[in-house]
Amino acid sequence: MNEATLEKFQYDNKIVKYFGAATMIWGLVGMLVGVIAATQLFLPEANLGNPYTTFGRIRPLHTNAVIFAFVGNAIFAGIYYSMPRLLKAPMWNKTLSWFHFWGWQLIILSAAITLPLGLTSSKEYAELEWPIDIAIAVVWVAFGANMIGTLIKRRERHMYVAIWFYLASFITVAVLHIFNSLALPVSMFKSYSAYAGVQDALVQWWYGHNAVAFFLTTPFLGLMYYFLPKAANRPVYSYKLSIIHFWSLIFIYMWAGPHHLLYTALPEWAQVLGTVFSIMLIAPSWGGMVNGLLTLRGAWDKVRSEPVLKFMVVAVTAYGMATFEGPMLSLKNVNAIAHYTDWIVAHVHIGGLGWNGFLTFGMLYWMWPRLWKTTLYSTKLANTHFWMGTLGILFYALPMYVAALTQFLMLREFDDMGRLAYGNFLQTVVELVPMYMLRAFGGLLYLSGAIVMVYNMIKTAKQGVFQPSEDDQAPALQKAYNSKGEFWHRAWERKPVFFAVLATIAILIGGVVEIIPTILVKSNVPTISSVKPYTPLELEGRDIYIKNGCVGCHSQMVRPFRFETERYGEYSKAGEFVYDRPFLWGSKRTGPDLHRIGGKYPDSWHYFHMMDPGSMSPGSLMPPYPWMVENEMDYSDLSAKIRTLQKLGVPYPDGFDLEANKNLEAQAAKIVKSLKDTGVEVMPNTEIVALISYLQRLGTDIEATAEKQ
């Protein structure tokens, strides 16, 4: 190779610095919101007495902030650092890089504003309304275009394993985001899901599961394959293993989604398929973990002295624990215990705090001094952070496991008379309060550790000089390349577009297998003739329920277990949800299931319960919603809502959009009268009236059938 063919170029460090700083800032914000939400679970007054900071609205704010803002920016920082260096070419287009950066921050900012305002689709990790969804798609495509452009301009013929992970993540997240966000807008800030009931649930959890896979797992495996060898200063343990585990992982992950919906109306074979593939997932997941840990063989002495490696070792270990626990949770009998309890919360936090958080910290501690051409300001502080974080994870997760088992055992206990031993759900929640306190303490410890890190990083930056760019040189790729004797993977590694197509096919096979039953599910949902569309007032009540994030604590899915049917009533039938857009089955019960709440209590009970839950259920941990009595419901867009639903196939009669207001007012008057009979004066156009009408309707449709028979 002669000198003349060498090309000089520069890596852009500024974009890495910006994404890195955004990671830290949003990380602190997201964790702080998490600590506030955790505090509200034992001290409801911590909602600051207003709807905007009440649990139902800040829980999605917390999840979105930590997933898309903290972890998202960390992924981008890592990719913008490693990809150019692995490909010997700067990122393709600087304008695109900056469009990506500012676009992403703007999306986060709009999420931070709209979620507290209650503008939400209520589908977990996809709560943002449709205009923001479109912005996400645009920015995501800009990011992908920038990566593909860099690949085309690369000077290194072969793609290192980290880059396959980046590419697969980009492609899959794009597919997932588009399919799950399909909705028909009513107005700028309100839309109805394109899917209803069981179908909506399936698409949502196909998305939810794979968002964890391709936003929280595969990009981080890519980062691990770059930064772990860098930090340990030795190559990855087995490159062969990385090839095998990459393809198996992206192939299998897409199939496992149905494990979120065990004991539902999903056809049996699809449930079994979901469980089988979840178990199979252990193999490729552990392939990654083993490869990461064994990379450190012979370097364990360094782990004792180097904080970067400490963080990474705990991260990879947490990944191994979470990916063993996940398949176990998809076994039906384990799932019966864990679903709706704090076990799931513990599981996701082992992954989130351990794997994502600690790998991010390790990466930042490694990268920051290099960007400023200096050394870390304080290794001691980094070690302090490490122990605060590790203890934080333990204080978080262990009480949650105890809480989950305690609650499950209490909920399913029957006394000698064959009645539920703890008939009131609240009896079990009160028992968990000490665990919730410990959990919040764990979260606070973890957050404090992160603050120590940010201080350390600021000091590190101050003592160094920022290097806006880094010079490098490499020969250009020769056009005439003799590929004789290269087969399969070795050849694919040279052809990014072909590689991307293959990866797409791999994920789509699993996706199609899951989506086909989703589309077919209608034929498997027995129609229940007495199930009717919501009345206009109930629809408004349902939208208020969605707006306030009630689904964050209350499920609407009674499972076919004796201890559930005894407690709540008849188990939920698939046919009951055909007009639910979006579905509101929920994933966690901090309060009782509400699917059979309709008609259980008088209207006045609901009124007083919403005003002050403690007055009806002494010791309740539910926050009060006194503003619902004063807030006027805005039903100016009611006609538009009815028309949108008609387009989606809800059988309202023709011209119903024009009568809807009258219909709503008539039903509201009835509720006002029933409240007045019990001595409660309330205006008919307040939110509480609509909410009561919705709650009283819930799960009552099948009773109508029973009465007829």
Minimum Å distance from CB 326 to another protein?
Answer: 19
| From candidates 21, 96, 252, 551, binder to another protein by CB under 8 A | 252
Q: Per CB under 8 A, does 290 bind another protein?
A: no
**CA 580 and chain centroid, separation:** 21
| From candidates 14, 25, 137, 155, binder to another protein by CB under 8 A | 155
Q: Per CB under 8 A, does 520 bind another protein?
A: yes
327 or 552, CB closer to another protein? 327
| From candidates 451, 513, 629, 648, binder to another protein by CB under 8 A | 513
Per-residue b or e along 229-267, where b marks 16 or more CB atoms closer than 10 Å to that residue's CB: bbbbeeebbeeebbbebbbbbbbbbbbbbbbbbbbbbbe
Minimum Å distance from CB 494 to another protein?
Answer: 10
508 or 531, CB closer to another protein? 508
Q: How many CB atoms neighbour CB 474 within 10 A?
A: 17
Q: How many CB atoms neighbour CB 3 within 10 A?
A: 7
Smallest Cα–Cα separation from 329: which of 261, 410, 398?
261
Burial class (CB in 10 A: 0-12, 13-18, 19+), 345: buried
- Residues within window 472-491 making contact with another protein, judged by CB under 8 A: 472-475, 477-478, 482, 486-490
Minimum Å distance from CB 706 to another protein?
Answer: 30
Burial class (CB in 10 A: 0-12, 13-18, 19+), 621: buried
Of 107-115, 267-275, 323-331, 574-582, the window that binds another protein (rule: CB under 8 A) is 267-275
Smallest Cα–Cα separation from 607: which of 681, 699, 698?
681
Q: Per CB under 8 A, does 600 bind another protein?
A: no
Q: Please tell me the distance from the alpha carbon of residue 367 to that of residue 23, in angstroms, as a whole number.
A: 13
| From candidates 112, 137, 184, 243, binder to another protein by CB under 8 A | 243
Contact 58, 116 (CB under 8 A): yes
Of 99-107, 234-242, 404-412, 600-608, the window that binds another protein (rule: CB under 8 A) is 234-242
Of 50-58, 97-105, 172-180, 231-239, the window that binds another protein (rule: CB under 8 A) is 231-239
Contact 70, 19 (CB under 8 A): no
308 or 621, CB closer to another protein? 308
207 or 237, CB closer to another protein? 237
CA torsion sign for 542, 545, 546, 547 is positive
Q: Please tell me the distance from the alpha carbon of residue 377 to that of residue 367, in angstroms, as a whole number.
A: 13
Smallest Cα–Cα separation from 584: which of 204, 211, 212?
204
DSSP for 106-168 reads HHHHHHHHHTTTT-----TT--S-HHHHHHHHHHHHHHHHHHHHHHHT-S-SSPPHHHHHHHH
494 or 567, CB closer to another protein? 494
198 or 447, CB closer to another protein? 198
- Residues within window 71-130 making contact with another protein, judged by CB under 8 A: 82, 85-86, 88
Minimum Å distance from CB 164 to another protein?
Answer: 11
Minimum Å distance from CB 278 to another protein?
Answer: 14
Q: What Rg, from alpha-carbon coordinates, does the chain have? A: 27
Minimum Å distance from CB 85 to another protein?
Answer: 5
Q: Per CB under 8 A, does 618 bind another protein?
A: no
Minimum Å distance from CB 251 to another protein?
Answer: 6
At position 398, the amino acid (one-letter code) is: L
Minimum Å distance from CB 516 to another protein?
Answer: 6
Q: Per CB under 8 A, does 510 bind another protein?
A: yes
Q: Per CB under 8 A, does 251 bind another protein?
A: yes
Of 94-102, 142-150, 164-172, 265-273, the window that binds another protein (rule: CB under 8 A) is 265-273
Minimum Å distance from CB 356 to another protein?
Answer: 21
Minimum Å distance from CB 154 to another protein?
Answer: 11
Smallest Cα–Cα separation from 135: which of 98, 102, 113, 92?
102
Q: Please tell me the distance from the alpha carbon of residue 359 to that of residue 382, in angstroms, as a whole number.
A: 14
Q: How many CB atoms neighbour CB 103 within 10 A?
A: 18
Q: Per CB under 8 A, does 244 bind another protein?
A: yes
Beta carbons within 8 Å of 430's beta carbon, 6+ residues apart? 619, 621
Q: Please tell me the distance from the alpha carbon of residue 75 to that of residue 65, in angstroms, as a whole number.
A: 14
Q: Per CB under 8 A, does 2 bind another protein?
A: no
Minimum Å distance from CB 293 to another protein?
Answer: 16
| From candidates 14, 522, 600, 670, binder to another protein by CB under 8 A | 522
Smallest Cα–Cα separation from 341: which of 62, 586, 121?
586
Of 164-172, 176-184, 225-233, 611-619, the window that binds another protein (rule: CB under 8 A) is 225-233
Of 150-158, 298-306, 333-341, 590-598, the window that binds another protein (rule: CB under 8 A) is 150-158
Minimum Å distance from CB 155 to another protein?
Answer: 8
Q: Given 3-state DSSP classes, what are the helix, strand and coil percentages for the chain, each rounded to the nearest 5?
A: 70, 5, 30
Give the total of residues touching another protein (CB under 8 A). 54
225 or 694, CB closer to another protein? 225
Q: Per CB under 8 A, does 516 bind another protein?
A: yes
* Cα three-residue angle 204-205-208, rounded to 5 degrees: 90
Q: Which helix (H) or strand (E) holds 8?
A: strand 6-12
Q: Per CB under 8 A, does 160 bind another protein?
A: yes
Minimum Å distance from CB 206 to another protein?
Answer: 14
Q: Per CB under 8 A, does 450 bind another protein?
A: no
| From candidates 233, 333, 527, 636, binder to another protein by CB under 8 A | 233
Q: 474 has which bridge partners?
A: 7
Smallest Cα–Cα separation from 173: which of 196, 144, 202, 150?
144
Q: Per CB under 8 A, does 269 bind another protein?
A: yes
Minimum Å distance from CB 376 to another protein?
Answer: 19
Q: Per CB under 8 A, does 308 bind another protein?
A: no
Smallest Cα–Cα separation from 166: which of 182, 150, 155?
150
**Three-state secondary structure of 475-517:** ECCCCCCCCCCCCHHHHHCCCHHHHHHHHHHHHHHHHHHHHHH
| From candidates 52, 102, 239, 466, binder to another protein by CB under 8 A | 239
Minimum Å distance from CB 650 to another protein?
Answer: 17
162 or 672, CB closer to another protein? 162
Minimum Å distance from CB 95 to another protein?
Answer: 26
Smallest Cα–Cα separation from 449: which of 398, 374, 394?
394
- Half-sphere CA count of 696, side-chain side, radius 13 A: 22
Minimum Å distance from CB 478 to another protein?
Answer: 7
Q: Which helix (H) or strand (E) holds 190?
A: strand 190-193
Q: Per CB under 8 A, does 519 bind another protein?
A: yes
Q: At 34, list the tokens.
A: 């998490």
Of 24-32, 160-168, 189-197, 558-566, the window that binds another protein (rule: CB under 8 A) is 160-168
Binding footprint of another protein on the chain (CB under 8 A): 1, 6, 82, 85-86, 88, 155-158, 160-162, 225-226, 229-230, 233, 235-236, 239-240, 243-244, 247-248, 251-252, 269-270, 273, 472-475, 477-478, 482, 486-490, 493, 506, 509-510, 512-513, 516, 519-520, 522-523
